[in-house]
Amino acid sequence: GAAEYFVIRHRLPDVDSAGYYFVTRFAEIPSCLWTAVSVVFFPMISERHETGANASALLKQSMLFILLGGGLIALTISLAAPYLFSAVPRWSLYLPYASLMGVASSTAVLRAVFSCFITYEMACRRFGFVLYATVFYALETVVLYGVSGIAYFDDWIPAGVIAWIQGANLVRLPVLVWAIFGFAVCPMLFLALHATKSRRSNEPAPA
C-alpha cells in the first residue's frame, strides 16, 4: 500500500529511501501483466455475471496466469538485478539493494493477484471485501508506523517492550521490505479461505 513509501521515507536514511524507490521501479514490472489483463477482465466478468454464466473459471485462469507469469518475470529480474545495476555507472550506487529485488517483485506479484480478485468481486457487484481490505490495510499502516516510531508511544507501551523493539534493530530496509511482503501474503490466505467457502457452497447437498 501507499503507507510503506511514507514509512520508509520518514523513518529511514535518504539513501535507503532512494534505494527502495529505485528497486521498486523494476520490481513493479511483473504487475504489468495484470495491467494488461484488467482492460478486458472487468467487462468480461461483468457480462458473464449479468447473463448468469459461471465466471469463476476465468478468475482462476487469470490469477494463475498472473501468479505464474509474474513469478517468472520476478525471478528473471531478481537474478538480473546485480548485473543490471552494475551496467549503468549511475545505478551502481544502488547495487547493495539489488538483493531486495526478489522479495519486492514477489510482493508486486501477490498484490496483482489480489487486485484481480477485487476486480472480480466488483464486477459481480459484491463489495464485502471492502471491510476486510480496509481493516487489513489500516493494520498494515499501524504496524509499520508503530514499530518504526515506537519511541513516540512511550506513554502507552511498557518501557521493556520499547527497549526490546529498539534493541532488535527492526527499523532497517531489509526488515521492512520483508514485513511488507508478509502483509502481501496475508490476503492470499483470505483468498484461500474464500475459495474453500465457495467450493463448499457449490457442493451438492447430501441426499
pLDDT at 106 over 80: yes
4: which 3 cell numbers? 510503506
Please indicate whether residue 73 or residue 204 has the higher confidence score (pLDDT). Answer: 73
Average pLDDT over residues 23-41: 92
- The residues near 100 (Cβ < 8 Å, ≥ 6 apart) are 19, 20, 23, 173, 174, 177
Average pLDDT over residues 75-97: 93
For helices 56-87 and 101-123, what crossing angle results, to 10°? 150
Task: Count other C-beta atoms under 10 Å from residue 63's C-beta.
Answer: 20
pLDDT at 61 over 90: yes
Closest to 144 measured CA to CA, from 121, 165, 130, 160 = 165
pLDDT at 78 over 80: yes
Average pLDDT over residues 129-143: 84
Task: Compute the distance between CA of residue 106 and CA of residue 129 in angstroms, rounded to an integer.
Answer: 23
pLDDT at 205 over 50: no
Confidence of residue 170 (pLDDT cuts 50, 70, 90): confident
Average pLDDT, the chain: 86
Q: Cβ distance 14 to 155 under 8 Å?
A: no
Average pLDDT over residues 49-74: 92
Task: Compute the distance between CA of residue 9 and CA of residue 17 in angstroms, rounded to an integer.
Answer: 5
pLDDT value of position 207: 39
pLDDT at 24 over 80: yes
pLDDT value of position 203: 40
Task: Compute the distance between CA of residue 157 and CA of residue 152 in angstroms, rounded to an integer.
Answer: 9
pLDDT value of position 202: 46
Average pLDDT over residues 2-30: 89
Q: Cβ distance 140 to 1 under 8 Å?
A: yes
DSSP label at residue 92: G
**Sequence letter at residue 184:** A
DSSP readout, 84-103? HHHHSGGGGGGGGGGGGHHH
Task: Compute the distance between CA of residue 14 and CA of residue 93 in angstroms, rounded to an integer.
Answer: 13
Task: Compute the distance between CA of residue 37 and CA of residue 75 in angstroms, rounded to an integer.
Answer: 20
Phi/psi at 128 (nearest 5 deg)?
-65, -25
